[in-house]
Amino acid sequence: MPLCMGIAIASGVPPEKGLITGIIGGIVVGALAGSPLQVSGPAAGLAVIVFELVRDQGLSALGPILILAGAIQVVAGICKLGGWFRAISPAVVHGMLAGIGVLIVVGQFHVLFDAKPLSSGLDNLTAMPGRLLGLDPTNATATELALAIALLTIGIMIAWDKFRPKALKLVPSALLGVVAATLVAYFAGLDVTRVNVPESIASAVAIPDASLFAKWLDPSILLAALAIAFIATAETLLSAAAVDKMHVGVRTDYNKELRAQGVGNLLCGAAGALPMTGVIVRSSANVQAGAVTRLSAMLHGIWILGFVALLPWLLREIPMAALGAVLVVTGWKLVNFGHVRELFRHHGVLPAVIWAATLVVVVAEDLLSGVLVGIGLSLIEVIPHVRRLKLGVEHDDGDHGTAIRLSGAATFVQLPKLSDALDRVPAGKPVVIDGTQLAAVDHTCAELMRDWLARRRSADNDVTVLGGAGPLSRLAA
């Protein structure tokens, strides 16, 4: 709940909008999902683009945009395009998330002082020194008190993540930080800005009016819907792939997951709420708690609905600075330098350059420009093989195991074909992957194969990779 409300505030909308998305993401999408253990809800990765949309188009445009984005996702799922979204370079996706993390940190930095974020990432960045220099430790006004509450929240979150006892590993640091900050602010009677939520969550539902169809004729609305559908789908399917690595149960049906997310965003648009994606933080907590069925994800939405319906007075005691602190920590975690180090170690300089370029353009310009720049740079890996992009896959199932022979070039253009071939391999039997005839493997396909091999080997399946001195040699270890 603190994260749902915090993401809503970072998106420039009332906190209850995030709660509605969390409820729909749990109950509806949880029931329909192609990734049964993935938990859906408002995502920090879309906070920046929603903030810009609300600022430029107004809150009333968000509903029509989400309805259209959801419809695009449903159609894409029906047309079985889910696998293609997985072909987006990991360097682009991680660079996009890192850029979003930077924007969230510099924007929510101002919320720590009970102030509002400015209109752009660069404006927020340049205004940060002024916030610090304007503090007066000898005169504890609302600004200084809000910062103290925020620092308390951040300190508890960091300490809990580092030193939490194994017996309490399922207690989230954000919950502890917000509870502590709320108790201190309440009992000390601190004059800081608090969350404002309505008595009834139903009153927060805002159904689009008759201007809905007219808004769909606006090219900027159409472009915004395409951007949200694209980014939400990429983040969801990346999260679903990560969830698959955490358990040995049912694998994700990417097209079914895409249709479920589309239905969820359609409903969020109809309710005037925030867009949703599958979220790796909540999903990993779900798997670690021992979840085995989709009911666990559905209960996520049911619990939020129960608390919002019964305890709105409690939510109104939460300091805004505490929610800003939660988002600052969340945003910082998105700037994961471990990802770029892994890309550099396994695949060389180019993926690291793609990551950095995507991050910089997202911060300096906007989200969509950053993603397009990253995808454009990804094409550099394809250029040397543009005349032989075909990937040959021979699949031979025998009584004693499976043999997969690869030939040609394994680039992101052919990733869906490669992914389907790997997913068809039966569990529990020996597998031989012969890549001696493979001329090239780009980092997108290499990451897919590396993750697949790690998952098979962790389940004690016998996997042999024949690559010699070729592109698969690093994966054979």
- Alpha-carbon distance of 184 to 194, in angstroms, equals 13
Q: What is the pLDDT of residue 159?
A: 94
Q: Is the pLDDT of residue 286 over 70?
A: yes
What is the reported pTM? 0.76
Question: What is the mean predicted confidence (pLDDT) over 260-274?
Answer: 95
In the sheet with 431-441, reading across from the earlier edge strand, the strands are 391-398, 401-410, 431-441, 463-466
- Claim to verify: residue 311 and residue 195 sit in the same structural domain: yes
Confidence bin at 461 (pLDDT 50/70/90): confident
Count of CA atoms in the C-beta half-sphere (13 A) of 300: 35
Q: Could you tell me if residue 332 is inside a domain?
A: no
| pLDDT reported for residue 179 | 93
Stated as kind and residue range, the H or E segment containing 466 is strand 463-466
Tell me which of 93 and 227 has the higher pLDDT. Answer: 227
> What is the structure's pLDDT at 237?
84
471 pLDDT higher than 60: no
The answer to whether residue 216 sits within a structural domain is yes
Residues 445, 459 share a domain: yes
Ranking 241-255, 354-368, 404-418 by mean pLDDT, the lowest is 241-255
- Per-residue pLDDT band for 468 (boundaries 50, 70, 90) equals low
Residue of higher predicted confidence among 109 and 242: 109
Q: CA angle, 146 as apex, 143 and 152 as ends, to 5°?
A: 140
Cα 325 to chain center, whole Å? 19
pLDDT at 41: 92
Is a pLDDT exceeding 60 seen at residue 469? Answer: no
Q: Is residue 16 part of a domain?
A: yes
What are the residue ranges of helices labelled H in 79-166? 82-85, 90-111, 121-133, 142-163
Using the CB atoms, write b or e for 222-258: b if 16+ within 10 Å: eebbebbbbbbbbbbbbbbbbbbeebeeebbbbbebb
Band (475; pLDDT cuts 50, 70, 90): low
Please check whether residues 18 and 147 belong to one and the same domain: yes
Task: Tally the domains of the chain.
Answer: 3
7-16, 52-61, 265-274, 438-447 — most confident range: 265-274
Q: Is residue 174 part of a domain?
A: yes
Average pLDDT, rounded, for the chain:
85
Task: Answer whether residue 208 shows pLDDT above 60.
Answer: yes
Report yes or no: 145 and 190 within 8 Å, Cβ to Cβ: yes
Contacts by 347-351, CB closer than 8 A, 24 or more apart: 347/443, 347/446, 347/447, 348/443, 350/377, 350/380, 350/381, 350/443, 351/89, 351/90, 351/91, 351/443
> Which residues are CB-contacts of 310 (< 8 A; sequence separation ≥ 6)?
none
Compute how many other C-beta atoms are within 10 angstroms of the C-beta atom of residue 306. 12
- Domain with residue 428: its CATH number is 3.30.750.24
Q: Are 306 and 406 part of one and the same domain?
A: no
- The tokens describing 374, both together, are 């990253």
Expressed as residue numbers, the domain containing 376 is 337-384
Q: How far apart are CA 27 and CA 304, in angstroms?
A: 10
pLDDT, average across residues 108-124: 81
Distance CA 413, CA 391 (A): 9
Note whether 307 and 364 are same-domain residues: no
Per-residue pLDDT tens over the stretch 311-347: 888 888 999 899 889 888 888 887 888 888 888 888 8
287 in a structural domain: yes
In the numeric block, the tokens 């370029």 are attached to 357
Sign of CA dihedral 415, 418, 420, 426: negative
- For 134, other C-beta atoms within 10 Å of its C-beta total 11
- Name the phi and psi angles at 366, rounded to 5: -160, 175
Of 297, 325, 353, the residue at which a domain comes to its end is: 325
Last residue of a domain, one of 284, 300, 325: 325
Q: Is there a single domain that holds both residue 320 and residue 429?
A: no
Residues 20 and 39 placed together within one structural domain of the fold:
yes
C-alpha distances in Å from residue 215, one per residue of 68, 151, 222, 247:
11, 42, 9, 43
Tell me what pLDDT residue 470 has.
Answer: 54
Amino acid identity of residue 208, one-letter, is P
Domain match, 193 and 286 both: yes
Do both 192 and 280 map to the same domain? yes
Together in a domain, 411 and 372: no
Residue 308 lies in a domain: yes
| Phi/psi at 396 (5° precision) | -125, 110
Across residues 294-307, what is the average pLDDT?
Answer: 91
Residues 375 and 466 in one domain: no
The predicted-structure confidence for 158-192, as pLDDT tens digits, reads as follows 999 899 888 887 788 888 999 999 999 999 998 89
Q: Does 11 score more than 90 pLDDT?
A: no
**229 within a domain of the structure (yes/no):** yes
Is 264's pLDDT higher than 90? yes
In this predicted structure, the answer to whether residue 136 has a pLDDT above a threshold of 80 is no
Pair (111, 258) in one structural domain: yes
**Per-residue pLDDT reduced to its tens digit, 394-429:** 888 877 788 899 988 888 888 888 888 888 888 778
Residue 73 is predicted with a pLDDT of 96
Q: Which residue would you say has higher pLDDT here, 297 or 424?
A: 297
